[in-house]
């Protein structure tokens, strides 16, 4: 009987089996054209922004050349500009934040997706973590100044007194420094890493976990040897997104990093970043300094672009290796 009804539907020319109408074809083509226009518009907007920044930076590029990337002095009165300490501070703080925030973000994602909590509590904690992304950067900066620094300073002093011979603890924490900036930055990227990692873990079919349990694995063995490797593509993408967020963060770092042009491994020493340099110097910059700041902005854009390209290449290579 079911077969007769199916044949009757096809023979009767029902809408399911009829070719698309002209309106449906037109709407499909219009939607396709709209998506292409949006993609093209985004690319053109990016190149337009690069053009405007590059146009302002050309005089500084011609005058300072590559020495701008290797000099450590930033003195507008003398016309001396170099961003090597800022490049170091940007990369150092971002990777520290990635190690801390990435570890906690992936851990939170595992905790909220692998049946450690009832569904209601999972949703509650997930919403709480996502709310961290809605807190303004300046609020994080104020919290770091008035709460975090006084909280960690006694521990930092003890670590310096005990392990001061290690370069990472070679100075005391007198106030703003690399460690408070990295900790706050880690908290800021944690929601991004956790959210994307959760989506990757939830996208794994439940039968995969059942098969792992059927092979005799414990819960932690299933998570470490099955779930995390299977979701590694998405988790690595989450880490790349978190690193990109960390590289471009401005206000919190400007308030917490110390804004000192020096290169050091010490976690307790003040430093500087490219984003903080741009934010703090633009309001009072003259023409020559503005050109130098535009040059620094191009360097920051290139660093962010290179990090994302390298991350995408690694993701592509790992995905091909898994398919093989």
Tens of pLDDT, residues 23-42: 878 888 888 889 999 999 98
- pLDDT band (50, 70, 90) for residue 319: low
Rounded to 10°, the helix 149-163/178-202 angle is 110
Q: Check pLDDT > 70 for residue 12.
A: no
**Residues linked to residue 81 through DSSP beta bridges, in sequence order:** 74
Cβ partners under 8 Å of residue 241, min gap 6: 192, 193, 196
Tens of pLDDT, residues 255-270: 888 888 888 888 888 9
pTM of this structure: 0.82
DSSP secondary structure string for all residues of 125-154? HHHHHHHGGGS-HHHHHHHIIIIIHHHHHH
What is the mean pLDDT of the segment spanning 66-87? 85
Whole-angstrom distance, CA of residue 33 vs CA of residue 12: 34
Cβ partners under 8 Å of residue 101, min gap 6: 185, 186, 187, 188, 189, 190, 193, 242, 246
Rounded to 10°, the helix 274-281/84-113 angle is 120
- pLDDT band (50, 70, 90) for residue 5: very low
- pLDDT band (50, 70, 90) for residue 16: low
Check if the beta carbon of residue 144 is closer than 8 Å to that of residue 255.
yes
Tens of pLDDT, residues 286-311: 888 888 889 888 999 888 888 888 87
By residue count, the chain amounts to 324
User: According to the model, what pLDDT value does residue 17 have?
Assistant: 64
Whole-angstrom distance, CA of residue 298 vs CA of residue 306: 12
Kindly report the backbone phi and psi dihedral angles of residue 74, in degrees, each rounded to the nearest multiple of 5, phi listed first.
-130, 95
Q: What domains, with CATH codes, occur in the chain? A: 86-287+310-323 (1.10.3720.10)
Q: Check pLDDT > 80 for residue 192.
A: yes
Check if the beta carbon of residue 254 is closer than 8 Å to that of residue 274.
no
């Amino acid at each position: 009987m079911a077969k007769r009804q199916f044949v009757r539907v096809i023979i009767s020319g029902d809408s399911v089996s009829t070719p698309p109408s002209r309106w449906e074809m037109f709407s499909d083509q219009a939607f396709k054209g709209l998506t292409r226009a949006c993609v093209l518009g985004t690319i053109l907007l990016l190149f337009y922004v690069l053009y405007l920044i590059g146009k302002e930076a050309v005089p500084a590029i011609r005058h300072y050349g590559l020495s701008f990337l290797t000099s450590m002095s930033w003195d507008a009165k003398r016309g001396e500009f170099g961003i090597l300490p800022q490049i170091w501070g940007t990369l150092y703080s971002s990777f520290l934040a990635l190690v801390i925030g990435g570890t906690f973000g992936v851990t939170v994602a595992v905790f909220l997706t692998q049946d450690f909590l009832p569904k209601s509590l999972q949703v509650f904690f997930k919403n709480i973590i996502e709310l961290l992304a809605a807190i303004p950067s300046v609020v994080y900066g104020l919290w770091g100044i008035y709460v975090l620094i006084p909280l960690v300073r006694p521990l930092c002093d003890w670590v310096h007194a005990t392990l001061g011979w290690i370069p990472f603890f070679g100075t005391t924490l007198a106030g703003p420094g690399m460690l408070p900036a990295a900790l706050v930055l880690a908290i800021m990227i944690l929601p991004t890493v956790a959210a994307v990692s959760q989506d990757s873990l939830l996208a794994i079919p439940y039968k995969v976990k059942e098969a792992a349990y059927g092979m005799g694995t414990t819960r932690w063995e299933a998570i470490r040897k099955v779930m995390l490797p299977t979701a590694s593509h998405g988790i690595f993408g989450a880490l790349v997104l978190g690193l990109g967020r960390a590289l471009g963060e401005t206000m919190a770092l400007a308030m917490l990093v110390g804004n000192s042009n020096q290169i050091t491994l010490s976690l307790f020493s003040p430093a500087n970043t490219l984003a903080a340099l741009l934010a703090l110097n633009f309001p009072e910059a003259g023409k020559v300094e503005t050109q130098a700041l535009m040059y620094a902005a191009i360097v920051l854009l290139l660093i962010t672009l290179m990090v994302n390209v390298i991350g995408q290449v690694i993701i592509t290579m790992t995905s091909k290796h898994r398919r093989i």
